[in-house]
Structure 1
Amino acid sequence: MNRRIIPLIALLVAAAGALGTAAVITQRQMQLRGAVDGLPPITLAHRVPILGVNAPLHTYDQAALDENLDLIAQTGFVWVRQVFDWALIEPQPGSYDWSVYDRIVAEAAVRDLRVVAVLTGSPGWAANIPGAPPEDTTYFAEFARAAAARYGNTIQVYQIWDEPNISSGWGEQPADPVEYAVLLEAAYNAIHAVDPTATVLTAGLAPTTETAGANIADVAFLRALYENGAAPFFDGVAGKPYGFDTGPDDRRISPDVLNASRMVLLREEMVRQGDGDKPVWASHFGWNSLPGDWEGHPSIWGQTDPNQQAAQTLGYYERALLEWPWAGALILDNWQPDAPPDDPRWGFALRRQDGELTPLAQALQAESDRFSGALWPGIYPADTPLADYEGDWEFSDLGADFSEFGESLVTVPFAGDSLGIIARRDNYRAYLYVSVDGEPARGLPQEYDDTDDVGRNGAYLVLTSPDYQPRVEAVPIAQGYTQGEIHMAHLAAERGWDQWALAGFAVGANVPTLGYDLAIGALLILTGAALLVGVRYLGELNWIGDVWRFALNQVNAGAQMALTAATAIAVWIGIALTLGGYVPAVIRDSGSIGSLIFTALTAGVFYFSPTLIATLIALLFLFVLLYSKPVYGPMLMVLFAPFYLLPRPLFDRAFSMVEVVALLTLAVWVLRTLAAWGDDDIPVDPPTPRQLWFESTPLDKAVVLFTGVAVVSLVWSDLVGVAVTELRMMVLEPAVLYLFLRTVPMEDGDRWRIVDALVIAGVVVAFAGFVQFGQDVLSTQGFVCLRSVTGTCNNAALFLGRIIPITAAELLFNVERSERRWLYAAAGMIMLAAMALTTSRGGLLLGLPAGLGLVLIVWGGRRAAIAVGAGVALMFVSLIPLGRLVPRFNLLSQSNLFRIQLWQSTLRMLRDHPITGLGLDQFLYAYRGGYILPAAWQQPDLSQPHNVLLNYWVRLGIVGLVAGIWMQIAFWRMAIATQRRFKWFAPLSKRAMTVGLMGSMAAFLAHGMVDATHFVIDLSYVFFMTLGLMHQLHEESVPVGGQQPADL
């Protein structure tokens, strides 16, 4: 094939793929319009029974009324829409005759039928034109008030007028939304004055596409009502979504299309107006089916046969029930029309003129129990008649409350994909045990432990608020069921009385879009592949290559100008900060000790200054010092890392000192990098992405992957605020330390200053812990442990356990530097004593043995390995008698059982979110608000799963787990190779640091089996310091011309 044709074909394929993708996306959006996927918002109006029918009950005598109402009820209808003719009821002003309607309302109530009262039809004394609205709306308001006052105990739904958007419904006058809005307001206020709980619907808006003349399209008329301020004066909108010539699955939605999906247009207009919580009713709908020998007037609603009419109507009911939780009742047109025998409205009738029921009526009778006998997708009150309560419950406007004594059980039938409760959650302990169809509910954690104080087993929901703050929300309790089939959910409440925890029920459905999603994905892959091929071969064509290079040159020219300006500014700032070199000279002349003192004093003034001015001056001076001596940035970061719980107020926020130093160090790094690129004496070109990729090591790539997935995880984090905080404080700012160590050349002394700062921090933590421990011994009865400034005993052990192996390695390996060696030995003993007082089992039994053991094995070889192994074995054997004397070291203690229960809950989280995990800092809220086992109720406030691998996975998903493992593999490959090389030719100090960092990381992994070793602020800085220093040592260990390890 001619290679010049390949890019053309590839681009044509890409264009076709893009068009196909757009077409499938359009189809998918059409599928989703109007549908609610999952549990609906709890602000939606409560769903009502959906089956209803229009019936001219006022035309029947008593016998016919009884007969027809019996048949209507037997068919399964819940609602009967009945016109209340104002002209018939009030023929003279103030003279009412309710006799016909009293009989209708009473007989309907006997059969548990609910009447929708349509108030319409002006008497001659109120309007000069028959069928027109009254000339004075106060007359109509008084009629509406009288109707509500008379029937308020029986009728709950009123509809104001019928088809005011077309001239035939407005007295053959042009439709007037402004005038109708006035009428609606008057009637609404009058009804609610005597019956505040009544539901007032707009008139049923006739389906039409006209936008000018005497008629106004239903959607345009509704929009005009909103524009004229009518929104507060109706509780729901009514449309007339006739099917016409297409079926219930005709999903075309357009102002120019008349079909059964027209209800969605009304709904979308309400959502646009901020009124989406109100329902949309169908006051008339259906498919017309006239007999084959029909000789009357032709149907204007299309035509179908009786069996298809039945199938289409049932299909529409099911679509509305599953997809439209915002829909009210769908009221069929009609039982029998109040019309002559030749009127085509008889094509809608469920009871023919000869009295026989149509196939549609028979089909509805067969399906009515399914449609009305379960909760379909929507929002329901706690006292819904379909919920069967057993035991001692209390009910109020707040919902249902559990009983303190005896059982509180409720059985709920539902027909959706998922069932939820509207829960009133707070800082209290309570559970709902849920089974569906006799099996533990899908989608909930399960417990099988008879040792707790609840005494139940199975699937359970924790009602404790995740953040301990009061909230009312829909919480799923059963998911993944076949929608459209009735399932029985059984709920058993435990604890939580006087909280009114059960505020209602929510049912959701799954909108099937998998086929569309797969098609979109495949087309996007095809399009992307075709584009890559096209661009690849386009580059081989000279004329296209010339155009491409010209465009790149223009872009590069602009980018070069921007970079030149930025570097010039950076150089200027650098000169200003260093006062033309004066500051570096002063610092250099003062020596290392003097510069350290300057920096320490500046940081101290910033932290302890009582005034804002002095604080800001100290902050500026600290920035100048760090710019002049960049190595002090990472040194101060590790020095201040453990004191993150002692923040410094600044303006209206509080920042820990380590965070301030990290941000200053990042700013220094950026400025110095830009200045280096603009240095005329030693020009340095910015690296290209290609250079960065090929020059980066596996450890670099692993760190970038870890940081990148942490940023991306914000997309799926439920609580974005806390996720952003953890991202900033435990990922991005500590990663500045790694960035600095990887890009700023350092001498051996600079690295040791950073480690010295870490050891000093450890000693300060130890002494602060001794003071705290002594105070607790004097003032506390019972268990006491060393917590120091870290807040908990385990956190103190985690931090100290990372440093002690470094001091041990310095003592054993670095015999050249006696001063640091013995100082480190003393510091190590101090920290070891503090470590013992923490009584942390993970630190003393796992972390410390692993860290010190590795150092000893590297130092002493095989004999040391045997000794370490024997010592570890002896330690664990001694735990048998020690556990009896000191319960804290009993491996079968309650605390260890809690740890196992925590891992069980974590695995359940990962089963529900295996790919993405929960996100940064989401564990605490998901655990205590949903996944905690009832038997573990005494420890609800756990923010991580106490295992390093589970922690990566649950926070950052499977990619985060891969990144965490990759960082470890890359680190240990570097560490082992570096230690081996330094064994033969390097100064002892470098080998001592290498082995110390290895021991520190070993403690990280061993203690991380049962605790948090990364996602804690101070430990995050120590982690990235360990990686960065090891990388520097590894680079120095590679001989000139040597090869780096291959990428993993």
Structure 2
Amino acid sequence: MLAVLVGGLMIGTAAASDDYLHRGIETGETAPYALHPLGREPAVNVDLWDVPPGDLPREAERLREAGFRYARQTFPWAEIEPSPDAFDWDRADAIVAALGGVGIQPIAVLAVSPDWAREPGAEAAVDAAPLELDAFGVYVGAFLEHFGGRVGTVQVWDHPNDPVRWGGEAPSAVDYGALLAVAANAARSAAPAPAPVRVVLAELAPAPDGGATDLVFLDALYRSGARPFFDVVAAVVDGGARSPFDRRVEPERTNLSRTVLFRELMLDQGDGEKPVWATHFGWAAGGPTGVGAASQAEFVVTGLDRAREEWPWLGLAVAWAWAADGPEDPAADYALVGPGGTEAPLLAELSGRAASADVAPPGWVPPGTRGEQPLALAYDGQWSDVGIGESASGRRTTSQVGAAVTVRFTGSGLNCVLRYGPRSGPVRVTLDGGPLPGSGERAGDASLLYLDRFEALDVPVALAAGLEGGEHELRVELVEPGELTFGGAVVVRELPTLWPVVVLAGVGALVIFFGLREGAYLFAQRGNFLPRRRAVELGRPLDGWQPTRRA
């Protein structure tokens, strides 16, 4: 029995180790995989509302030079619609124009209700839910109609589980869900065709005073039926005082790995095709949990690398703050630019890392549109956007012979969503400049793939597998008259084999086997199911064999 206990302990230890090391890690192709509406290039939280209009172009240029492609900015309802149906777009126009002028896409946080829309007595609160939900719907619709596709992503409210942002009252997931539904319907109705609009669930405070935690509130939102009204889940990802390789996953533990709980909750709700965005991502350099400026830079970059390699379901990781207003600003310990204009070491690290943003990590790569295209994709020739409303990411198609799409990725494999059908033409496919390994028909240094079928169908085609680590490039080119329709790609990463865990589990299983075998033998012997062992009869002792003792 001791052997069985020891073996069981070894297997249990191996299982616990495997869970600790692999929890949250996915290959990228395991269904359901998250369908990212955007690429996963660098993003940052900004507060440009009070920046003088004349300074906005320079500030936007600094963001571009740092390598950021997305900027999360609050557009306060109270400032834009100070009275019912009276809109002032001047500052919002200046911000969107400055960001768009340098190729940065805004992620618009729509919150901060005006006094006229609040319940009586809530005017002094930081934010409060509107008395009439439709009033907020009017604002959301007007916002998207005004910007006409220049803003394609909106977050509905901010920290609705915090009483401070809900008029001082105890927040309700049902009440926020109703607000979310009105806003989502208004946003989707106002979005100019064929441009899509992404609705981001409000970022939730991890543990607000007097309110439910983020995970509890999110679970209540799902149970209230809010699932159809958002496309992305937002999460605060604070590394706390712990290393990015701290893999303990607990609701009360402040670390990077806590993000896994959002993914697990969404999978439990059958909502695994939606991504998680880390709308605040970082470690504090100072303060109670501060790790110092040097470690902050190291931890953030290492954490981003770990998330890109292991979590294909995590989309944008938005740097905590671009700049702090002053030393008392809660974001000062996280900011890339300090109150005095001093740049944190983290800014240089993120800027250097931005150069690798044109290589897709494991997970979904959307096909993009003419105006929004992941850096990991390159289109040659004339392409058009089709089917935006039919899928999470749309599709792109071409009928120009010689037109091609190139995917740059890092992983062990790549699946491309291609359309088979009666109008589809043959394509020429190359991987790292040569034919696909083990492919069928070849034409010189490329593989040929025939996509003509009787029925039109979008199919994920495994074009590469079993690749060595590092960067790879796959190119698909239309070579004869017909059509080539590209619906995105899935970068695959095989899970690493942890030999110590495998060996521990194997030895434990052997110990249990031999322990059970020996126990069964003893049981059978004592129950007289087997004959007892008999001593070997050596015969009678020989007489007179001893030598005679000398006198």
Structure 1 equivalent of residue 152 of structure 2: 156
User: SS where residue 280 of structure 2 aligns?
Assistant: coil
Structure 2 equivalent of residue 317 of structure 1: 304
Residue 463 of structure 1 and its aligned partner are, at CA, apart by 4.4
The answer as to whether partners of 1:42 and 1:379 remain within 8 angstroms in 2 is: no
CA 1:392–1:63: 2 relative to 1, 3 Å = closer
Match of 1:445 among 419, 439, 446: 439
Task: Give the structure, 1 or 2, with the largest relative contact order (CA under 8 Å, sep 6 or more).
Answer: 2
Please list, as runs of the form range in 1=range in 2, the aligned pairs for 1:414-425 lying within 5 A after superposition: 414-425=409-420
* 1:259-279 CA distance string (max 9 Å, x none): 222322122222222222112
- Whether 1:520 and 2:500 are equivalent positions in the alignment is no
Residue 441 of structure 1 and its aligned partner are, at CA, apart by 3.6
Residue 26 of structure 1 and its aligned partner are, at CA, apart by 2.6
TM-score (norm 1): 0.46
CA 1:429–1:104: 2 relative to 1, 3 Å = closer
Match of 2:95 among 104, 109, 113: 104
Match of 1:532 among 513, 517, 526: 517
Tell me the distance in 1 between the aligned counterparts of 2:224 and 2:189.
Answer: 22
Tell me the distance in 2 between the aligned counterparts of 1:524 and 1:461.
Answer: 47
Residue 432 of structure 1 and its aligned partner are, at CA, apart by 4.5
User: SS where residue 412 of structure 1 aligns?
Assistant: strand
Q: Report the structure, 1 or 2, having the larger helix content.
A: 1
The answer as to whether partners of 2:27 and 2:312 remain within 8 angstroms in 1 is: no
Tell me the distance in 1 between the aligned counterparts of 2:150 and 2:185.
Answer: 19
CA 1:281–1:534: 2 relative to 1, 3 Å = same
User: SS where residue 464 of structure 2 aligns?
Assistant: strand
The answer as to whether partners of 1:116 and 1:159 remain within 8 angstroms in 2 is: yes
Residue 63 of structure 1 and its aligned partner are, at CA, apart by 4.6
User: SS where residue 21 of structure 1 aligns?
Assistant: helix
User: SS where residue 243 of structure 2 aligns?
Assistant: coil
User: SS where residue 117 of structure 2 aligns?
Assistant: coil
- Whether 1:205 and 2:199 are equivalent positions in the alignment is no
Residue 481 of structure 1 and its aligned partner are, at CA, apart by 3.4
Structure 2 equivalent of residue 92 of structure 1: 83
Tell me the distance in 2 between the aligned counterparts of 1:126 and 1:428.
Answer: 54
CA 1:395–1:153: 2 relative to 1, 3 Å = closer
Structure 2 equivalent of residue 825 of structure 1: none
Please list, as runs of the form range in 1=range in 2, the aligned pairs for 1:686-705 lying within 5 A after superposition: none
Match of 2:42 among 35, 38, 51: 51
Residue 402 of structure 1 and its aligned partner are, at CA, apart by 6.1
Match of 1:167 among 159, 163, 171: 163
Tell me the distance in 1 between the aligned counterparts of 2:448 and 2:508.
Answer: 42
Match of 2:253 among 245, 257, 277: 257
* 1:46-67 CA distance string (max 9 Å, x none): 3522421111111212354333
Tell me the distance in 1 between the aligned counterparts of 2:254 and 2:460.
Answer: 35
Please list, as runs of the form range in 1=range in 2, the aligned pairs for 1:668-747 lying within 5 A after superposition: none
The answer as to whether partners of 2:433 and 2:445 remain within 8 angstroms in 1 is: no
The total of aligned residue pairs comes to: 509
Q: Which amino acid is the alignment partner of residue 475 of structure 1?
A: V
Q: Which amino acid is the alignment partner of residue 375 of structure 1?
A: A
Match of 1:354 among 322, 340, 353: 340
The answer as to whether partners of 2:33 and 2:313 remain within 8 angstroms in 1 is: no
* 1:451-498 CA distance string (max 9 Å, x none): xxxx44545556477xx8764332221223355x43222334455824
The answer as to whether partners of 1:423 and 1:503 remain within 8 angstroms in 2 is: yes
Match of 1:228 among 218, 224, 227: 224
Please list, as runs of the form range in 1=range in 2, the aligned pairs for 1:542-557 lying within 5 A after superposition: 542=526, 545=527
Match of 2:11 among 16, 21, 39: 21
User: SS where residue 204 of structure 1 aligns?
Assistant: coil
Structure 1 equivalent of residue 320 of structure 2: 333
TM-score (norm 2): 0.84
- Whether 1:114 and 2:98 are equivalent positions in the alignment is no
User: SS where residue 116 of structure 2 aligns?
Assistant: coil
User: SS where residue 25 of structure 2 aligns?
Assistant: coil
Q: Which amino acid is the alignment partner of residue 535 of structure 1?
A: A
Please list, as runs of the form range in 1=range in 2, the aligned pairs for 1:408-419 lying within 5 A after superposition: 408-419=403-414
Tell me the distance in 1 between the aligned counterparts of 2:232 and 2:381.
Answer: 36
Residue 330 of structure 1 and its aligned partner are, at CA, apart by 1.2
The answer as to whether partners of 1:177 and 1:221 remain within 8 angstroms in 2 is: yes
Q: Which amino acid is the alignment partner of residue 339 of structure 2?
A: Q
User: SS where residue 411 of structure 2 aligns?
Assistant: coil
User: SS where residue 283 of structure 1 aligns?
Assistant: strand
Give the share of equivalent positions with the same residue, in percent.
31
Structure 1 equivalent of residue 191 of structure 2: 195
User: SS where residue 176 of structure 2 aligns?
Assistant: helix
Structure 2 equivalent of residue 244 of structure 1: 240
State the Cα RMSD in Å: 2.8
User: SS where residue 418 of structure 2 aligns?
Assistant: strand
The answer as to whether partners of 2:401 and 2:478 remain within 8 angstroms in 1 is: no
CA 1:342–1:502: 2 relative to 1, 3 Å = closer
Tell me the distance in 1 between the aligned counterparts of 2:256 and 2:86.
Answer: 42
CA 1:464–1:512: 2 relative to 1, 3 Å = farther
The answer as to whether partners of 1:411 and 1:489 remain within 8 angstroms in 2 is: yes
Q: Which amino acid is the alignment partner of residue 416 of structure 1?
A: G
The answer as to whether partners of 2:401 and 2:481 remain within 8 angstroms in 1 is: no
Tell me the distance in 1 between the aligned counterparts of 2:28 and 2:274.
Answer: 19
Q: Which amino acid is the alignment partner of residue 162 of structure 1?
A: D
Residue 378 of structure 1 and its aligned partner are, at CA, apart by 2.4
User: SS where residue 49 of structure 2 aligns?
Assistant: helix
Tell me the distance in 2 between the aligned counterparts of 1:286 and 1:80.
Answer: 16
Mark the runs of 5 or more structure 1 residues left unpaired by the alignment.
1-10, 291-297, 449-454, 550-1048
- Whether 1:142 and 2:133 are equivalent positions in the alignment is no
Match of 1:284 among 267, 280, 283: 280
* 1:187-223 CA distance string (max 9 Å, x none): 1112222117211111101112x8xx82101111011
Q: Which amino acid is the alignment partner of residue 228 of structure 2?
A: P
Match of 1:69 among 37, 42, 60: 60
Mark the runs of 5 or more structure 2 residues left unpaired by the alignment.
388-393, 531-551
Tell me the distance in 2 between the aligned counterparts of 1:262 and 1:463.
Answer: 43
User: SS where residue 489 of structure 1 aligns?
Assistant: strand
Q: Which amino acid is the alignment partner of residue 14 of structure 1?
A: V
Tell me the distance in 1 between the aligned counterparts of 2:270 and 2:510.
Answer: 38
Residue 136 of structure 1 and its aligned partner are, at CA, apart by 1.6
Residue 257 of structure 1 and its aligned partner are, at CA, apart by 2.5
CA 1:122–1:279: 2 relative to 1, 3 Å = same
Tell me the distance in 1 between the aligned counterparts of 2:17 and 2:315.
Answer: 26
Structure 2 equivalent of residue 183 of structure 1: 179
Tell me the distance in 2 between the aligned counterparts of 1:525 and 1:69.
Answer: 63
The answer as to whether partners of 1:392 and 1:407 remain within 8 angstroms in 2 is: no
* 1:291-328 CA distance string (max 9 Å, x none): xxxxxxx44xx211222211211122222222222222
User: SS where residue 241 of structure 1 aligns?
Assistant: strand
Q: Which amino acid is the alignment partner of residue 78 of structure 1?
A: R
Residue 110 of structure 1 and its aligned partner are, at CA, apart by 0.3
Match of 1:511 among 495, 500, 504: 495
Tell me the distance in 2 between the aligned counterparts of 1:116 and 1:395.
Answer: 22
Tell me the distance in 2 between the aligned counterparts of 1:87 and 1:428.
Answer: 52
- Whether 1:476 and 2:462 are equivalent positions in the alignment is yes
- Whether 1:368 and 2:367 are equivalent positions in the alignment is no
The answer as to whether partners of 1:105 and 1:154 remain within 8 angstroms in 2 is: yes
Structure 2 equivalent of residue 1010 of structure 1: none
Q: Which amino acid is the alignment partner of residue 422 of structure 1?
A: V
The answer as to whether partners of 1:390 and 1:410 remain within 8 angstroms in 2 is: yes
Tell me the distance in 2 between the aligned counterparts of 1:114 and 1:88.
Answer: 21
* 1:698-752 CA distance string (max 9 Å, x none): xxxxxxxxxxxxxxxxxxxxxxxxxxxxxxxxxxxxxxxxxxxxxxxxxxxxxxx
- Whether 1:79 and 2:70 are equivalent positions in the alignment is yes
User: SS where residue 307 of structure 1 aligns?
Assistant: helix
Q: Which amino acid is the alignment partner of residue 231 of structure 2?
A: D
- Whether 1:123 and 2:101 are equivalent positions in the alignment is no
CA 1:55–1:402: 2 relative to 1, 3 Å = closer
CA 1:42–1:16: 2 relative to 1, 3 Å = closer
The answer as to whether partners of 2:20 and 2:248 remain within 8 angstroms in 1 is: yes
CA 1:435–1:524: 2 relative to 1, 3 Å = farther
Tell me the distance in 1 between the aligned counterparts of 2:282 and 2:148.
Answer: 30
* 1:410-451 CA distance string (max 9 Å, x none): 322112221221122358996544333334444x42656xxx
